[in-house]
Structure 1
Amino acid sequence: MNKKLFLAGWLFLMCFTLAAQEYFPVNDGVKTVNSNYTLFKNATLHPAPGKTINNGSMLIKDGKIVSVGKSVKEPANAVVIDLKGKHVYPSFIEMYSSFGVKKPERSSGGRSGEYEASRSGYYWNDHVRAETDALADFDYDSKAAKELVEAGFGAVNTHKVDAIARGNGILVALNTGGNTADRLIDTKSAQFFSFDKSNLSGQAYPSSKMGATALIRQLFEDADWYAKGNVETRDLALEALNANMSLPQIFYGEGLYDDLRIASLSKETGVPFIIVGGGDEYKRIDEVKATGAQYILPVNFQDAYDVEDPYQADYVSLSQMLEWNQEPTNPAKMQEAGLTFALTTHSLKSPEKMMDMLKKAFKYGLSKETALEALTTVPAQLLGKSDELGSLKENAWANFLVTSGELFEEDTILYENWVQGNQQVIKDSNVLDIDGSYALSLGGSTYDVSISKSTEKPSVTVKSGDTKLGSKINYDNGWLNLMFTAKDAESKDFTRVVTQVSDAQMWSGKAIQPNGSETSFTMTKKEADTAEDEEDKEDDEKEADEPFVMPLTYPNIAYGYDEKPKQETILFKNATVWTNEDVGILEETDVLVKNGKIAAIGKNLSSGGAKVIDATGKHLTSGIIDEHSHIAAFSINEGGQNSSAEVRMKDVVNPDDIDIYRDLAGGVTTIQLLHGSANPIGGQSAVMKLKWGSSIDEMVLDDTKFIKFALGENVKQSNWGSYSRFPQTRMGVQQMYTDYFQRAREYEKAKNSGEPYRKDYEMETLVEILNADRFISSHSYVQSEINMLMKVAEDFDFRINTFTHILEGYKVADKMAEHGVAGSTFSDWWAYKYEVNDAIPYNAAIMWSEGVLTGINSDDAEMSRRLNQEAAKTMKYGGVPEEEAWKFVTLNPAKMLHLDDRTGSIKEGKDADLVLWSTYPMSVSAIAEKTLIEGAVYFDLEKDKALRKSIQEKKNKLSTMMLRDKNKGLKTQPAKKEEKQRLDCDTLETLN
């Protein structure tokens, strides 16, 4: 280590320590105070991204920067450090970390079914721990600090990674020479949130991401209510939450759809969350851009898959391959979108990997200036510390890097990282870099010597001709010691050479041969590669600098489209048209689609420039509507409470679910995405049009409000032995409904009183039901419970909209008709659990014959693609006429979902949600050739064939690229199969 640098660091450390402890008694000598300055001269200074000062100077004192500029006056008592030929940059800032704060371990035995909070004096939900103070559990981690310092970081924003509301973090300087008090830049740096539960509690709610989303939504309403003085008892969690609202609000997400979910919460709560992204924002960058949020981005690009074995390669899906190929574009895409983002190492195995990841990101379009901003000025700005961190300016902390050259260049060496004026040497800048190839001449023989990593852990290769010799190197204090064996493999004797190195092209020194004799040698550095080699090298570098990136599709998985489908003007000619209207089935009829609507129906219509489709011998119907679906969701149940009326299925829509495409291939255009049946009062539905490749907002019909209720075995927990959550019996279910609706009436009365009231999202939803602004689809089986729920509804003067499943509907069809409730059932499911024992395939026909609005639903991703055949079964079992049977999966569910004014039949003015079938639509041979939604073709059989071929071509190209990576010696990951989880009524999610 340079003695002058060491002296400067030591003097400053003494000054800093004494100043920090000026009130301590002195028991070991005369008390002194050191007030020395340290002046850095002749450096290339980079005070902020995009700014450079050549031959600049920087003066520091007491851990702070005193002045920076072209010419800085040298105080009389300054220690001067000459940084000629070196560069100085601000140290990096890590914005998202758990550095030094241990995450609590989950209690053994897993989570128990606790439904009440375990703490008094705090919020009603244990997973809200806004009172958590990271400083209380902070213990400086020297090993982790060393890794961060060596990666260029000078400060870290850390917190306890536990709970949904995680409390406040602290901002810590990575100063190895200080103590905790010295290092703390801010004891309340930010407030943190996530969708993850606390390991300190077994409270069941929330059990799903939609539940966590709803809890956060309610939390901020309650915090506002509390802040206005409307609560008599103290709530320490809410007090802390409100006290921390002036801090940056950082919300951890795990991917693109968490980003969008958090952004939606930000809009609804008015809290400007800084989003910790997932690194896959590029997939829907326009939607991410529209959030206008600020982000903290990981740069953890995955390794290529090992696809050398073709059988193993088949396990890797196209979406997995695309993620590998496209992930490195993410920072550049965010940059192009004009979004503000910081970079984080939190997802990396170690901070040292960050520089390699950044160099890869540069090749994919990220600018070096943006990267520097994302590591310095942006995190400083987001944390409100621009005056103290992230740039080199007067009064800022003396956190800076000393490098051999421009920061992100391939050969640049990071020598030192000064934190709060404390020098931390990473590599000795006085060690000469002697990497390269040399010709060693010794005793009449010439050897090829190759030295690498000389400034780190030197390694050497020695060859005599084509024979590699055993060798060992030691390089210390400017002296090179090299040993190598003789060419004879049997010999274990060494030749030893020693020389003092310099920046000259040839060195000489002493050599001791295996027989002990002493001689001299010369070691000459070889010239640069030949022109031909240099040209090959440039070609390789060019190839590496211009990586091939697969274009994005909509959605960005297999069967995604190059462009989003757009509305077209289409004329179907000579089709058999199933109108579902009074005119019935029309033979050899034309249908004109224009501006997303059905524009005309008749014979010999003029094309008028429309795209003409010959539908001779084919059948045109309205799109199939599935009243009960569980596709296109990340989770289905929130079972942590007996009522989850506050949760919204829209919060967990998965628009990239391949089952959307498969449904379109089966002629399905609209679904009701229902909550599951884990509790009597479930969550709010998402009624969706299956616009493949579109955004969630473009798919979900917000003006159609439904909610899932449930009866039977699931809600009373018959099948999983739970004895801690009410209700446990069918009569308990009835009592629960009565209680909740009575509470809703009382809530509405308070809301309408003109007095202040606490907004309760659960009660708001139930009031909507009472006022016929939201409608119930109830999971049901046995007649007693069907009767019960109708009576509860009548007692509160509203009506149940639909009984779904309802396999004993045939027993109470007359009462259903009288109540005015619809029945959406299965065609022939039976005996899959006890309460289905009385199911019969004539159920649908009997309900229909009694005047009940009847439909057939799927409740199953596989059946959803074959609802045309399920409708046909009602013709066999009960003799339902074909047109009425077809309405069971089209017009009738449209009426159930209150959409019949816009879809469900072929009528002028309605949405052009249409399916062109190859033959009679209820035949097992029928194939959906085209499926349209609002005049855009979202499935086309011929295009599907082309997509299948394209998928194979893309996989082959990406596999070749992965094999090339492996052949270059790059690390790979094992091929692994992407498993798709199919969700149904009783699928339970487990939050972290």
Structure 2
Amino acid sequence: QNGKIVNAAKSVSIPDNAIVIDLQGKSIYPSFIDLYSDFGIEKPERSTRRGRSPQYDPTRTGYYWNDHIMPEINAVEKFKFDNKKAEELRAAGFGAVNTHLQDGVARGTGTLVTLNSAGNDNDRILAHKSSQHFSFSRSIAKDQSYPSSVMGSMALLRQMYYDAEWYSKGNTKTKDLALEALIANRGLVSIFESKDKLNTIRAYKVGKLFNINYVILAGGYEYEKIAEVKATNASFILPVNFPDAYDVSNPYQAAYVTLADMRRWNQAPTNPKIFAENNIPFSLTTHDLKSPKDFMPNLLKAIEHGLDKTKALEALTTVPAKTLGKANEIGSLTKGSHANFLITSGDIFEKETIIYENWVQGNLNVINDKDQKDIRGEYNLMVAGKTFQLSIKGESGKPSAEIKQDTLTHKATLGYSKNWIDLSFTAEEETYRMTGIVPTTSDNFAGRLILPNGNESTFNATKTGPLEEKEKEEKEAKTLEVVPVTFPNLAFGNTTKPRQETLLFKNATVWTGEDVGILTETDVLIQNGKISRIGKNLSASNAKVIDGTGKHLTAGIIDEHSHIALSSVNEGGHNNSAEVTMEDVVDPDDIGIYRALAGGVTMAQLLHGSANPIGGRSAIIKLKWGENANNLLMSNAPKFIKFALGENVKQSNWGATETVRFPQTRMGVEQVFIDNFERAKNYETLKKSGKPFRYDEEMEVMVEILNGERFISCHSYVQSEINMLMKVAEQFDFTINTFTHILEGYKLADKMKEHGILGASTFSDWWGYKFEVNDAIPYNAAIMYDNGVTVGINSDDGEMIRRLNQEAAKTVKYGNVPEEEAWKMVTINPAKMLRIDNRVGSIKEGKEADIVLWNDHPLSMYA
């Protein structure tokens, strides 16, 4: 009554003026709710400015300093009811949607609307502001260059929340309409579009920092990381856009389908079931489907893969309603709720079930005529003295027909509505056209016939039985076979996560990397992840014994400069991106980890790229294949940051349009450093003064450098710039930790030693890639070593990391570096540069057991 449910029970008092509809044998369900939609919101036009010079400044006045932050946008102000789309959604079972503008990092508010075509917006809109929306994706309509990476988006969101806190305390006289909107909407549920299992965890990290419990739109493959997902305690919105089966009929095309692709096709439909089994709250959405009509078939696939029907219904009704704080208005058939409900032929989660009607706010929407008879079956069709076999199949509301005569099959056209049938077909080049009504009391039907010569006659169809199914061998019903998840869930993944064991290596040649040098026929005992004992004839109960006879045991190789296992490498939207950290974007599933392990590498420093003079903070990881991103990070590791000099940061190799970002010269690079360190000093002075200050993550990191709490690894080539940076550091009273690349290090090894750098990490003989490395020589490492500099060999490359042992060997070839010293260049020396040589880098009792067993001399190309 009046669009609301008055009562719902087995026995109710029926008002005298009520229309009574007999639904004997049929079912009623609450209409579904989609929490994540852009229904009625026009998609923004993609900016046409692409290809021009980058834009570094915002275009809006009175709003936040970044154009991709738009919390002031209200979906209700952009909403325009779309009758066609509403019809499609109602046909899929939906009665209400939470819609918003799906564009930008901070996207503004959503609005909750019903799919009531009979009403107006005053009736339909249940909440003008129902939710806040966020993502890691830039606006397609905006051109501001920052952020250009996931880690940049994470940093931008953190700074946005810090700025909102500052603004809310009245600490600025500047008006910011974006921050005012963000603050005003704090009471709304925050929905985050992650669309990726790793971004799901990243979104959680951002929210946790500010005590925000995001409801997260998942990517569909969270089952691969379900333990981490559960640990977030977040609620989720799950898509059902499962991958289609791959066409592998062509062997050449099939070669490009990976094992990971095939597994995901096989496993993805289990994602909702696994959420339910782990008691993780979730809703379901049509998001990312090509059409709403794909929703129910995909949902049924999830149910076939084990999703409980009750959980499926809750995920479409009570859970989304509760998420939006609207449990008393939608999502159930309780008294006072909006009359949003479905009438079906039976269990809505069965393939053959038909949705007849979708009532929205008490208004009828017919999906399939519930009074129309199901005429599917086999018939004898009598036409002009001839007998044909008529098969009517397909959906009951939209059936199709096929005509057979002996062994011939004829194409037929069938129309069926309100129990009226129109049928036409052509046989032996003669077309027959029929129309008739299907009686409700009989399985047979008849009607008028137009013969090929135009004369009228009659036809009749006599039902002979149900549709003929193809003969099937009787088989026992079997559960769908889903291959097990591995760690990680791709080629070479572990069936279970590796665990620490007690190991005893016997009779190996041990390269200790310590003063004792190389020990022959020596045993090494590993317990609790540490090197416990080194000696002869060792024994230990319960130890797994590994015969090292004829083999070489070394410390694991440490790559001081790597970019493997990262979802983002550069944030080049600013000339200083100290606010970003590679720890945010570690990708534990990168096959580069496995390949590096196969080359004897056990640790790496994941550095920001060289897009700007001051890059992001680094991540020091252990290559624990199969672990999650957080467990790859070395615990209590020293803090590092990437700086860069030369062609890359002044953008001389970026193209003709990249000429507007400062700096554009090597002189300008120096001024970027000086300017930022001066700003950091002023920032720290204000912070220590006790006066109110705006928390600036970028400046916080710069202060850490000044205070010796964070160390610089600097991308460097040219002698003059290397000198320059050391002088800048001395001006601000700190020391450069590491010069990496350092291909002109041989020219100023004495200067670096005098400055007090901890190390120089270089290539052995790689330089043919740009002009500023023109003076590189293969003797660089040896010359720096002879001058007392701690030298390391790094890869900076996903391929070279697989053969760093051979790169170290080149220092023996070119500079006569002693073999043990050459080996230290990829083990203990990079450990010293990373300030972790007390923990790793050599084989010594008490150190962490990052070790490698080789079948040959470790410097040999055959090892």
TM-score bracket, shorter-length normalisation: over 0.9
Determine the C-alpha separation between the residues in 1 that align with 2:456 and 2:134: 72
Shift of 1:131: 0.7
Correspondence 1:719 to 2:657: no
User: Is the 1:820–1:852 contact (alpha carbons within 8 Å) kept by the matching residues of 2?
Assistant: no
SS of 1:576 mapped into structure 2: strand
The count of residues paired between Structure 1 and Structure 2 equals 857
Change (3 A) 1:836 1:382: same
Of residues 326, 330, 339, the one that matches 1:398 is 339
Correspondence 1:583 to 2:523: no
Of residues 328, 332, 340, the one that matches 1:387 is 328
Number of the residue aligned with 1:166: 107
Counting only pairs closer than 5 Å after superposition, residues 86-485 of structure 1 correspond to structure 2 as 86-110=26-50, 112-440=53-381, 447-453=388-394, 455-480=396-421, 482-483=423-424
Number of the residue aligned with 1:526: 465
Correspondence 1:566 to 2:499: yes
Q: Which has the higher relative contact order, 1 or 2, with Cα contacts under 8 A spaced 6 or more apart?
A: 1
Change (3 A) 1:249 1:403: same
Counting only pairs closer than 5 Å after superposition, residues 739-888 of structure 1 correspond to structure 2 as 739-821=675-757, 822-888=759-825
Change (3 A) 1:751 1:501: same
User: Is the 2:412–2:426 contact (alpha carbons within 8 Å) kept by the matching residues of 1?
Assistant: yes
Determine the C-alpha separation between the residues in 2 that align with 1:812 and 1:408: 74
Letter in 1 for 2:819: E
Correspondence 1:85 to 2:18: no
Of residues 517, 524, 527, the one that matches 1:594 is 527
Number of the residue aligned with 2:545: 612
Counting only pairs closer than 5 Å after superposition, residues 601-750 of structure 1 correspond to structure 2 as 601-704=534-637, 705-720=639-654, 721=656, 722-750=658-686
Change (3 A) 1:495 1:698: closer
Determine the C-alpha separation between the residues in 2 that align with 1:897 and 1:461: 75
Change (3 A) 1:123 1:493: closer
Cα deviation, 1:506-556, whole Å, max 9, x if unaligned, reads: 5577878779696775613316879x95xx47738x35xx22111111100
User: Is the 1:626–1:670 contact (alpha carbons within 8 Å) kept by the matching residues of 2?
Assistant: yes
Cα deviation, 1:276-316, whole Å, max 9, x if unaligned, reads: 11101111111111111111111001111111111221121
Change (3 A) 1:874 1:433: same
Determine the C-alpha separation between the residues in 2 that align with 1:517 and 1:127: 69
Change (3 A) 1:882 1:518: closer
Of residues 62, 68, 76, the one that matches 2:2 is 62
User: Is the 2:424–2:431 contact (alpha carbons within 8 Å) kept by the matching residues of 1?
Assistant: no
User: Is the 2:646–2:718 contact (alpha carbons within 8 Å) kept by the matching residues of 1?
Assistant: yes
Determine the C-alpha separation between the residues in 2 that align with 1:287 and 1:712: 41
Determine the C-alpha separation between the residues in 2 that align with 1:681 and 1:496: 79
Determine the C-alpha separation between the residues in 1 that align with 2:699 and 2:730: 19
Query: For structure 1, which segment, 476-485 or 64-73, has the greater mean C-alpha deviation from structure 2 after superposition?
Result: 476-485
Shift of 1:189: 0.9
Cα deviation, 1:455-511, whole Å, max 9, x if unaligned, reads: 43332122233222454444344344545555xx3x515485856333545557787
Change (3 A) 1:625 1:415: same
Determine the C-alpha separation between the residues in 2 that align with 1:139 and 1:250: 22
Shift of 1:609: 2.9
Determine the C-alpha separation between the residues in 2 that align with 1:474 and 1:573: 82
Determine the C-alpha separation between the residues in 2 that align with 1:802 and 1:638: 21
Change (3 A) 1:603 1:476: closer
Change (3 A) 1:266 1:422: same
SS of 2:680 mapped into structure 1: helix
Shift of 1:442: 7.2
Query: For structure 1, which segment, 861-870 or 792-801, has the greater mean C-alpha deviation from structure 2 after superposition?
Result: 792-801
Number of the residue aligned with 1:903: 840
Query: For structure 1, which segment, 315-324 or 98-107, has the greater mean C-alpha deviation from structure 2 after superposition?
Result: 98-107
User: Is the 1:662–1:865 contact (alpha carbons within 8 Å) kept by the matching residues of 2?
Assistant: yes
Change (3 A) 1:244 1:537: farther
Determine the C-alpha separation between the residues in 1 that align with 2:635 and 2:689: 28
Letter in 2 for 1:380: A
Change (3 A) 1:900 1:478: same
SS of 1:80 mapped into structure 2: coil
SS of 2:184 mapped into structure 1: helix
Shift of 1:836: 0.8
Change (3 A) 1:583 1:161: same
Determine the C-alpha separation between the residues in 2 that align with 1:306 and 1:352: 23
Shift of 1:439: 3.8
Change (3 A) 1:438 1:204: same
SS of 1:67 mapped into structure 2: coil
SS of 1:861 mapped into structure 2: coil
Determine the C-alpha separation between the residues in 1 that align with 2:413 and 2:61: 67
User: Is the 1:227–1:242 contact (alpha carbons within 8 Å) kept by the matching residues of 2?
Assistant: yes
User: Is the 2:369–2:397 contact (alpha carbons within 8 Å) kept by the matching residues of 1?
Assistant: no
Determine the C-alpha separation between the residues in 2 that align with 1:850 and 1:247: 63
SS of 2:297 mapped into structure 1: helix
Of residues 813, 818, 831, the one that matches 1:894 is 831
Cα deviation, 1:240-284, whole Å, max 9, x if unaligned, reads: 001111001011112111111101111112111111111011111
User: Is the 1:454–1:475 contact (alpha carbons within 8 Å) kept by the matching residues of 2?
Assistant: no
Change (3 A) 1:143 1:828: same
Determine the C-alpha separation between the residues in 2 that align with 1:132 and 1:514: 63
**RMSD of Structure 2 on Structure 1 (CA):** 2.1
